[in-house]
Structure 1
Amino acid sequence: MGSTGVWTVGAVPDQEAATLPEEFVHLVTDRDFQRPDGYADTLAWWSRDCDGERLFTRDEQDPTVLLPTAAGRRFADFVHDANPETAATEAMRDASLALMVGNGSDGLSSVVARKASPIAALYYGLGASVAGLLPGWFGDFLLTADGVCAALPHAERALRLDGERRAEVLERIAEWMTGMGDDPDFVAGDLLDAPLRVLRYAADAGLGVVAFTRWY
């Protein structure tokens, strides 16, 4: 796994959002659909909120240090394998980035985290049932303008949080970034606010939206 995870969410022209898959379908192979052994079991485990297993524990020598448990590593690996890098996905991601140029801050978001997956942190923070309201598959999605309008109300329910609920989710995101990654100063609110801002911008402008994770 790379050392820096970047989750990009950006608005793209509606017509291009509709035709992007067709441009790169010729790069798809049967191997692109293969999953690691036990993937379905882990998906079911996650859908049950990891059966209540703790994903982090305190270091016995230094209680201020969070360490991932076997369950935490299992979930991290699961999310990393959810959207593998293939010739087709990499070509689509490159093309999508080129289409996002010029959107400005409202139409583009890139959340960066050292040694940790931003989307894993978000899903851990929200929990399985709420994270299921988000479009796509563990942070990767391609929506036309109509798709954005359909997805936005569900994204609002998942991400527009306040009070104790927001504080709880932000605390869990920070826990992931501290225990799994190396970024205690990570701005957890960016994972809630930034993608919602892009989706709202795209809905108002009649644009599509593409999202994906890359490792550097």
Structure 2
Amino acid sequence: MGITTAWSISAHDDLFIAELAPRCLPLIEAERNEPLARDRWARWTAEGMPAQPSEDVLDLVRGGEHVQRMYDGLPGGDPFSMLDDVWGQEDIGDRIFLSVRSKDWAVWSFFHAVGPDRAALIPGWCGNFLLTSAEVRDTLPEVERALTFGPVDRAVAERRDWLEYPDGEESVLDGPLRLWRLAAQRGLGLCGVSVVIW
């Protein structure tokens, strides 16, 4: 049986980010602090730019049970829903990048395309983060360093990104930087989540 995964980055005002913080930040930190996850990250970053997609990165982006709760449901009867309360906001408009993949992981392709040095500049953990508007502004220079490519580097990254994009769909090389810039310009925070949706 296959899986379908989603990686989203969405921009929200600081009031909404503050509502998400107690729900999301502990789960992201729990993933980051797993000893096996830290070991996999260290092995991958020590490899440099591997020719083949790293299984360590695949294991990282599959994540554990912590971040997945943001989609499956939080404990204690919390009615929060990533699908309805975050992705499904009526006025979301251009404030979201969403990559839904069947039998694949958008974050895995993204990390393989940009490599460990650039990936290390992205805040949070393996595509998961929650940032206030001030944190977005503070991190924008590093994210621009990570995701701005000269012609040769862009061609290499595009070859390493194995995902196919129907007309009009943003690539993993474009959507994250667009959202960072948009959020910084509009004074918004960002929520990034990578989960299995079925």
TM-score calculated relative to the size of structure 2: 0.77
Deviations 1:137-192 (A, max 9, x none): 11011111101101111111111213010010111112xx4xxxxxxx33696112
Is the CA contact 1:21–1:92 (under 8 Å) kept in the aligned structure 2? no
Amino acid at match of 1:196: L
Partners of 2:104 and 2:193 in 1: CA distance: 15
Q: Contact 2:32–2:125 at 8 Å: present in 1 too? A: no
**1:151 matched residue in structure 2:** 139
Deviations 1:84-106 (A, max 9, x none): 413549947354335x541312x
Query: Is 1:199–2:180 an aligned residue pair?
Result: yes
Structure 2 residue aligned with 1:63: none
Cα separation, 2, equivalents of 1:34 and 1:2? 28
Structure of larger gyration radius: 1
* Residue equivalent to 1:65: none
What code does the residue aligned with 1:96 have? V
TM-score, reference length from structure 1: 0.72
Distance apart, 1:48 and its partner CA: 0.7
Which runs of structure 2 are paired with 1:5-44 in the superposition (5 Å)?
A: 5-22=5-22, 24=23, 35=34, 38-44=36-42
Is the CA contact (8 Å cut-off) linking 1:113 and 1:186 kept in structure 2?
no
Cα distance in 2 for residues equivalent to 1:128 and 1:74? 12
Are the aligned partners of 1:5 and 1:115 in contact in 2 as well (CA < 8 Å)? yes
| CA gap 1:38/1:134 in 2 versus in 1, 3 angstroms | closer
Output the CA distance in 2 between the equivalents of 1:76 and 1:194.
20
5 Å-filtered alignment, 1:61-140, equals: 72-81=54-63, 84-86=67-69, 87-88=73-74, 91=80, 93-94=82-83, 95-98=85-88, 100-105=89-94, 107-140=95-128
Do the aligned partners of 1:49 and 1:127 also contact (CA within 8 Å) in 2? no
Distance in structure 2 (CA, Å) of the matches to 1:20 and 1:151: 19
Aligned partners of 2:31 and 2:37 also within 8 Å: no
Select 2:152's aligned residue among 153, 159, 164.
164
Identity of aligned residues (%): 26
How many residue pairs were aligned? 184
